Amino acid sequence: MTPNKIGKQTLQFSSAPVITSWASVVGPMEGKGPLGEKYDLVLRDTLAGEKSWEKAEQKMMQYSIELAMEKHDLLPKDLDFYLAGDLLNQITCANFTARFLNIPFLGLYGACSTLAEGLCMAGVFLEGGFAEKMGFSASSHHDTAERQYRTPVELGDQRPMTAQWTVTGSASLIVEKKGNGIKLTHATIGKIIDLGISNAQDLGSAMAPAAFDTIKTHFEDLGRSENDYDLIVTGDLGLLGHGILKELLKEKGISPDKFNDCGIMVYSPEQDTHCGGSGCGCSGVVLTAHLIERLLSGYYHRLLFIGTGALLNSLTSNQGETIPCIAHAVVLESRGE
């Protein structure tokens, strides 16, 4: 018997774990974006005083979890478990941050869906009574991602119009069994969807069907519709992916008015990123800096957050493989109903 599973893919957290604390750390470019003033810390440059971008990304993740703990007056030893993930090979950023925290740790990888994956996992841990307090981080860094997935940063090449800009940013959340904050009520774990897009510079088109599948299944499982939510926000589909998702939704008769995308919200059009932002940090910093505040203030009451991830690496895209994508959804509710 699985009393907490509804339908095919949806988990119900009846005890409603609470996100009690959160923090975001971003790079200078994100700091100049439309949400610039809302981030907890904006780095002066992408190196953050370190010798390499990888070290800078690790520091960024560490700062974000430290800030999240400090806001709620916690120390690492108060957390039962720490979950983290990033985009680097072997998620080194997360591993090195966990080395600093010195608490039980599980590394996660879901590409840019890592944040939603982490919230699902935290929900399962708390609902199952395995933990009281959990820490969770996700990060991405433009320069480390560029060198790993594409070309050297200083190379003077032209990015295609479908390309997205990896966000330099890290977000951390503290999820607790009880407390004041944002309630986590449901999670829908996605399937891998691959509709044959192989262009690594066009991840929006690759990820849109995965997001669509998860949204559709979520609605079917819970018997809900878009009208039950104040906002349905995807992780990093970007302008193109968001446009495609809207088309797919219209075909199914779902009104796309309440949909938005973190990749579009994170940069302003003048920043000329072509299709918007991407990366684990993208959905992370928008959620922690902007969406959670809106939920707290009562502007939104219930929000569906869908993390979308393209599960490729430079090797598979060089070998001409198509891009398998995944999307996980979580339902966040403000306290007052």
Closest distance to other proteins from the beta carbon of 313 (Å)? 16
Query: CA-CA distance, 23 to 61, in Å (whole number)?
Result: 10
Among residues 154 and 270, whose Cβ is nearest to other proteins? 154
Sites for other proteins among residues 204-223 (CB under 8 A): 205, 208-209
Q: Which of 45, 157, 270, 337 binds other proteins (CB under 8 A)?
A: 157
Applying CB under 8 A, the span of 25-33, 168-176, 225-233, 240-248 interacting with other proteins comes to 240-248
**Total residues at the site for other proteins (CB under 8 A)?**
32
Question: What stretch of H or E contains 44?
Answer: none
Among residues 75 and 153, whose Cβ is nearest to other proteins? 153
Question: What stretch of H or E contains 74?
Answer: none
Closest distance to other proteins from the beta carbon of 3 (Å)? 26
Among residues 52 and 180, whose Cβ is nearest to other proteins? 52
Q: Concatenated DSSP letters for 223-266? A: T--GGG-SEEEESS-HHHHHHHHHHHHHHTT--GGGEEEHHHHS
Q: Do 281 and 26 form a contact (C-beta atoms < 8 A)?
A: yes
Site for other proteins contains 244 (CB under 8 A): yes
Closest distance to other proteins from the beta carbon of 47 (Å)? 10
Q: Which of 30, 57, 176, 202 binds other proteins (CB under 8 A)?
A: 202
Q: Do 244 and 275 form a contact (C-beta atoms < 8 A)?
A: no
Q: Which of 2, 14, 158, 227 binds other proteins (CB under 8 A)?
A: 158
Sites for other proteins among residues 68-107 (CB under 8 A): none
Alpha helices of 138-237 — where are they, by DSSP H? 142-149, 203-222
Alpha helices of 48-107 — where are they, by DSSP H? 53-71, 92-101
Q: What share of the chain is helix, strand, coil (3-state, %, to 5)?
A: 40, 25, 35
Question: What stretch of H or E contains 284?
Answer: helix 280-286
Site for other proteins contains 147 (CB under 8 A): yes
Sign of CA dihedral 47, 50, 52, 54: negative
Q: What x-and-dash track marks residues 263-292 binding other proteins by CB under 8 A?
A: -----------xx-----------------
Query: CA-CA distance, 101 to 205, in Å (whole number)?
Result: 38
Closest distance to other proteins from the beta carbon of 49 (Å)? 14
Site for other proteins contains 37 (CB under 8 A): no
Site for other proteins contains 3 (CB under 8 A): no
Any long-range contacts for 250-259 (C-beta under 8 Å, 24+ apart)?
A: 252/216, 254/215, 254/216, 254/219, 254/225, 254/226, 255/226, 257/226, 258/226, 258/229, 258/230, 258/231, 258/232, 259/226, 259/232, 259/233, 259/234
* Distance in angstroms between the alpha carbons of the first and the last residue of the chain: 30
Site for other proteins contains 168 (CB under 8 A): no
- Give me the phi and psi of 198, to 5 degrees please: -120, 5
Applying CB under 8 A, the span of 38-46, 132-140, 153-161, 290-298 interacting with other proteins comes to 153-161
Applying CB under 8 A, the span of 46-54, 112-120, 134-142, 304-312 interacting with other proteins comes to 46-54
Q: Which of 49, 130, 153, 257 binds other proteins (CB under 8 A)?
A: 153
Among residues 51 and 77, whose Cβ is nearest to other proteins? 51
**Residue whose tokens read 């979890």:** 65
Q: Which of 243, 260, 294, 301 binds other proteins (CB under 8 A)?
A: 243
Among residues 156 and 253, whose Cβ is nearest to other proteins? 156
Interface residues with other proteins (CB under 8 A) are: 51-54, 147, 151-162, 195-197, 202, 205, 208-209, 239-240, 243-244, 247-248, 274-275
